[in-house]
A and B are shown apart, each in its own frame.
Chain A
């Protein structure tokens, strides 16, 4: 049968007016780098449920709103106080500032990771889609890195958006906009640095958990356990230490392993504050917290990449 008669029969069978049939693709093939960028962008969208129906958006919107809420409340009170001429008093009393913001939303960031990381790192395993990715023009490590990059950017947005709201609110509500901007600007590098540390630490740890299970429930439980349990254990050890007991070097190791205490340490480092009392007890140089964050992020990423590279399809 010739091509033309096949097409006619095909179109008459399906009833479509036009049946161009199958055509060759002569356009460009953009290769690995492009594939990685496309996958990273897809990961970013997926982290916020975009393109996956209404239900997929509930968790990211709820957790995102909770993460932003403190910034909006602060700006709201600031607006009120500025009207009443009590701004300086309020600023002194506000518990939420640039340097304390992240420690107040750590729980929400953890929940966001637990809810959304499985969508990026476990879902493809669960549905078998991962075989379709691995059968395309990228390497397995590319897949893992692209997914992580997308998730990292998603976390950065979640972390920096409230800070942007805070900054804009503070600047616009002040009597001298330029001066206010000048006052807040020096704090931004520390904010961005802390956001980067949180995004890389939480992102890589989440990926490391999800890479090992196609099951969403296990991944969620694993992430929450990994983020909370070391902190609880560290808290107990800190309690023993500060109340006069001997913890030896275990305490130092634990505070350098628990995500929560690591972030307390890097926050103090970036914002030029003293370590919280319970951490200062262990007499660790501040840079060790940053070093620990970097080492853990790298190891978690390598572990996850290795898992994807060796995954049976």
Chain B
């Protein structure tokens, strides 16, 4: 059975619909819950925790109904909220061990687990100081620690990298990744930053406007390699025409010719064609679609398969990966 299963889950706040008939099954692993702000990520997580009731529809966690078995579910779930949730006048050790007890751990076990978990998240001597003096990064670590201290089977992390600088983000993502992979804890990470989340997840659930856009393994999102951009010093249109004549889908974008990549065939063809025409080749670069582009092209809920159309060639990535292997014969000439 699925770790989490929802059926037509709907939540309305007055006239605002936060979740709109969300039906999804989530298997154990590191799952990214992606969507823009207000897409319904936090609402979804809170319903799973039994923190708020759904307006209609149902949801189960560990095959337990969230509406009736909240206590049993929460005993085995760790939750890291998006917002500030720490008292300022207590030390991390005091707060985390107290919360461990509230999760049902005996006093001594709570203390031991607290020491271990705070070390795991990278808090050392400072854990005895009042949290009021912590940096944002340290507070985020404490928030993660309190979610882990009772050794949950499932971690629900709501924007864990919120407010962190780039180095802090990397460390937090690394922690999330380690926690999910080394310790066998299922993790759901909500984020609006797709570039971050794809680094740690093995499955993505995309929601928008409270609706499911897509739920698929990460590789299904990124396996469509995307676009090959060939930049030439001159003769751009000539190259485009030649390649089109050879049966490739092409488009032009600035100095580059963009070729839809479906398989490996275009690499050789591009090399040969450029050589044949004697064009000054500046670079060949394989552009991976950003996940935003994939979502933008999949407006309807699509729970299965890779029904995402290749994005328009104008969707230029900033996280472009250089082409590999035989793709760069005349680079930098």
Contact A34 B51 (CB under 8 A): no
Check B51 against A53 for contact (C-beta < 8 Å): no
Q: Report if A23 contacts B (CB, 8 A).
A: yes
Question: CB-CB < 8 A to A56: which residues of B?
Answer: 89
Task: Tell whether, in the assembled complex, residue B49 and residue A135 are in contact, meaning their CB atoms are under 8 Å apart.
Answer: yes
Q: Cβ of B85 and Cβ of A127 under 8 Å apart?
A: yes
Query: Which of B46, B88, B89, B146 has the most chain A CB atoms closer than 10 A to its own CB?
Result: B89
Contact (A51, B94) CB under 8 Å given A27-B105, A132-B79, A132-B99: yes
* Docked CA distance A22–B145 (Å): 11
How many A residues face the partner with a CB closer than 8 A?
42
Known: A24-B183, A129-B87. A30 touches B116 (CB 8 A): no
Task: Report the minimal beta-carbon distance from A1 to chain B, rounded to whole angstroms.
Answer: 9
Q: A27-B105, A132-B99 are in contact. Are A127 and B88 (CB under 8 A)?
A: yes
The distance in angstroms between the C-alpha atoms of A280 and B305, with both chains bound, is: 82
Distance (whole angstroms) from the CB of A114 to the closest CB of chain B: 19
Per the bound structure, the CA–CA distance linking A124 and B98 in Å amounts to 13
B116 contacts A22, CB within 8 Å? yes
B182 x A137 contact (CB < 8 A): no
CB distance from A2 to the nearest CB of B (A): 9
Q: Say which one of B68-76, B227-235, B267-275, B276-284 lies at the interface with A.
A: B68-76
- The digit string for B112-123, where 1 denotes a CB below 8 A from any CB of A, is 010011011010
Bits for A123-148, please: 1 = Cβ < 8 Å to B, else 0: 11001110111111111000000000
A196 to chain B, nearest CB (A): 27
The CA-CA distance from A288 to B134 in the complex, in Å, is 54
| Cβ contact within 8 Å between B146 and A132 | yes
Which of the residues A20, A29, A52, A131 comes within 8 Å of B103, measured between beta carbons? A29
Q: Mask for A223-244, Cβ within 8 A of B = 1, else 0?
A: 0000000000000000000000
Whether A131 contacts B51 in the complex (CB less than 8 A), given A22-B120, A27-B106, A136-B103, comes out as: yes
Per the 8 Å Cβ criterion, residues 83-107 of B in contact with A are 83-90, 94-95, 98-99, 101-107
Q: How many residues of B contact A (CB 8 A)?
A: 48
Within 8 A of A (CB), among B136-155: 146, 148, 150-151
- The docked-state distance in angstroms from the alpha carbon of A52 to that of B120 is 25
Q: Does B199 contact A (CB under 8 A)?
A: no
Give the complex CA separation of A258 and B130 in angstroms: 41
With contacts A3-B182, A132-B79, A137-B75 taken as known, whether A29 is within 8 angstroms of B87 at the C-beta atoms is: no
How long is the Cα–Cα vector from A124 to B49 in the complex, in angstroms?
Answer: 19
Residue of B49, B98, B104, B150 near A42 (CB, 8 A) is B98
A31 within 8 A of B: yes
B102 close to A138 (CB less than 8 A): yes
**Closest chain B residue to A127 by CB distance?**
B87
Closest to B75 in A: A137
Q: Name the residue in A19, A127, A137, A138 with the highest tally of chain B Cβ atoms < 10 Å from its Cβ.
A: A137
Note all chain A residues with C-beta closer than 8 A to B329: none
Tell me whether B317 is interfacial, beta carbon within 8 Å: no
Q: Are B81 and A29 in contact (CB under 8 A)?
A: no
| Cβ-based interface call for A38 (8 A) | yes
Determine whether A6 belongs to the interface, using a CB cutoff of 8 Å to chain B.
yes
Task: Tell whether B219 is near chain A: CB-to-CB under 8 Å.
Answer: no
Say yes or no: is A103 at the interface (Cβ < 8 Å to chain B). no
A128 engages B103 (CB within 8 Å): no
Q: Kindly identify which residue among A42, A123, A134 contacts B51, using a CB–CB cutoff of 8 Å.
A: A134
> Is B179 part of the contact surface with A, judged by Cβ < 8 Å?
yes
CB A145 to nearest CB in B, in angstroms, measures 14
**B157, CB-defined interface residue at 8 Å:** no
On whether the beta carbons of B81 and A14 are closer than 8 Å, the reply is: no
Beta-carbon contact of B178 and A29 below 8 Å: no
Which chain B residue has the least Cβ–Cβ distance from A23?
B116
Decide if B74 touches A25 in the complex (CB within 8 Å). no
Known: A25-B113, A53-B89. A128 touches B105 (CB 8 A): no
B109 at the binding interface (Cβ < 8 Å):
yes
Indicate whether B187 reaches chain A with its CB closer than 8 angstroms: no
In this complex, what residue of B is CB-closest to A14?
B122
Contact B79 A135 (CB under 8 A): yes
With A6-B178, A30-B104, A127-B85 known to touch, is A52 a contact of B119 (CB < 8 Å)?
no
Choose one: A25, A34, A51; the contact of B151 (CB below 8 Å). A25
- Whether A128 lies near B104 (C-beta < 8 A) is no
Whether A187 is near chain B, meaning CB under 8 Å from some CB there, is: no
* Other-chain residue from B77, B85, B87 in contact with A131 (beta carbon distance below 8 A): B85
Task: For residue B110, give the distance in angstroms from its CB to the closest CB of chain A.
Answer: 9
A35 on interface, CB distance cutoff 8 Å: yes
B residues bordering A, Cβ < 8 Å? 46, 49, 51-52, 70-72, 74-75, 77, 79, 81, 83-90, 94-95, 98-99, 101-107, 109, 113, 116-117, 119-120, 122, 124, 130, 146, 148, 150-151, 178-179, 182-183
A-B contact pairs, 18 of them (CB 8 A): A6-B178, A14-B124, A20-B116, A22-B183, A29-B75, A34-B101, A35-B103, A38-B102, A51-B94, A52-B89, A129-B95, A131-B83, A132-B146, A134-B49, A135-B79, A136-B150, A137-B71, A312-B52
Q: A129-B85, A131-B83 are in contact. List 20 more A-B contacts (CB 8 A).
A: A21-B182, A22-B116, A22-B178, A22-B179, A22-B183, A24-B151, A28-B109, A29-B75, A34-B106, A51-B90, A127-B85, A128-B85, A131-B81, A133-B102, A134-B51, A135-B51, A136-B74, A136-B99, A313-B51, A313-B52
Please give the residue numbers on chain A whose beta carbons come within 8 Å of chain B beta carbons, in ascending order: 3, 6, 14, 16, 19-25, 27-32, 34-35, 38-39, 42, 51-53, 56, 123-124, 127-129, 131-139, 312-313
List of 10 A-B pairs having minimum Cβ-Cβ separation, nearest first: A25-B151, A137-B75, A128-B85, A135-B79, A29-B104, A38-B101, A30-B104, A22-B120, A35-B102, A136-B102
